[in-house]
Structure 1
C-alpha cells in the first residue's frame, strides 16, 4: 500500500476497495445507491482504487445442493466479482434490511462467491482455513426501524451472522457496521449528513 498524505488532516494508506451494492432493485435510485456513490467519491478523491459490483445487474442461479457449492464451478457472470474480491484490501457491502437480514438475492450472490477454494479451505479434521485474511470490511445497512432498536432490541443478529458467519469466517477483520435507520422518514438534511459521513469513510478507506 502507498500512503496518501494530508487527506482531511490525516494520512491514509491507499487501498483497493471493493464496493458491493446489494440492493436487489436494478432500477437504482435508492438510498443504498447514493450512499455507495458518496463512499466511492470520497475514496477516489483520497487516491484509493475503487472496484464496484452491483448484484442486481448480475445473472446467476441459486445454489441448491452441497455438491454444487463444493464443485468450485462459479458462473461466468461472477468471474468479475471474484477477481475484484481477490484484488481488494477492503470490502464495503451495502444493503437494505429485509425481514431482519440481507435480501435473498444478495445471500444467493454470497453463496456463489464465497466458495471453498476462494473464501476458505475445508478441513476434515481441523477447522476450515480462512483464505481472505488481510482484508477488512464494512457493512452498511439501511432500515425502516430506528437503528438503535435494531442494535439493542434485536441485537443486530441478521447483520452479525454475515459478519461472523461469512466475512469473518473467510478471514476478514475487522468487520465494521454502519446503520441508517428510519430512512423513509428521514428529512433531506439528515440524508445529506449521511452522505457526508459515507464520503468521509471513503476518504479514510475504512
Structure 2
C-alpha cells in the first residue's frame, strides 16, 4: 500500500470515530453499515497477483483495517499489467466510471 494511503488511514481510523477501544476487537467497529470497493493497480498481471501472492495486500487492508472498523462488504477490483503495451487504460477508466455511478 502506498505510504500516503497508509498515513491517511492511520489519521482517519482513530478511536472514537472508526472504532471503540473499550470493546473487543472485530466487534468494536463504528463504521458498520458502510461498504468499500478497493481498486488495486499493478504492473504484473492480476492473475499472477491472485495465484502467486494470494492477494495479500488486499487481504491485509480488508481484514486489518476495513473489517476491523466495521466496513462490510469489501470488494476488490484488480487491474494488472498497467505498464504493458497491451494495457487498455481507456477501457478501465470507463469501467471505474461505471462502478462509481452504480455506487451513488
Query: TM-score, normalised to structure 1's length?
Result: 0.47
1:104 aligns with 2:19: no
2:90 to 192, 198, 201: 192
Displaced runs of 4+ in structure 1, greater than 2 A?
A: none
Q: 1:160 aligns with which of 28, 51, 59?
A: 59
In structure 1, C-alpha distance between the alignment counterparts of 2:85 and 2:102, rounded to whole Å: 26
Q: Which has the higher contact order (CA 8 A, sep 6+)?
A: 2
**Match status 1:172 vs 2:71:** yes
Residue of structure 2 in register with 1:201 after alignment: 99
Distance 2:99 2:53 in 1: 26
TM-score when normalising by structure 2? 0.89
Shift, 1:146, TM fit: 0.6
1:82-120 Cα distance to aligned partner (Å, 9 max, x none): xxxxxxxxxxxxxxxxxxxx0112111211110110110
Shift of 1:123: 2.8
Indicate the SS of the match to 2:75. Answer: strand
Alignment of 1:114-129 (within 5 A): 114-123=13-22, 126-127=24-25, 128-129=27-28
Which has the larger strand fraction? 1
Between the aligned partners of 2:56 and 2:86, the Cα distance in structure 1 is 28
Q: What does 1:1-206 align with in structure 2 at a 5 Å threshold?
A: 102-123=1-22, 126-127=24-25, 128-187=27-86, 190-205=88-103
Equivalent-residue separation in structure 1 for 2:96 and 2:16 (angstroms): 33
1:134, distance to aligned residue in structure 2 (A): 0.8
Secondary structure at the aligned position of 1:178 is classed as strand
Count of aligned pairs: 103
Q: State how far apart, in whole Å, the 2-side matches of 1:105 and 1:136 are.
A: 21
CA distance in 2, matches of 1:153, 1:186: 23
- Tell me, what secondary structure is at the counterpart of 1:195? helix
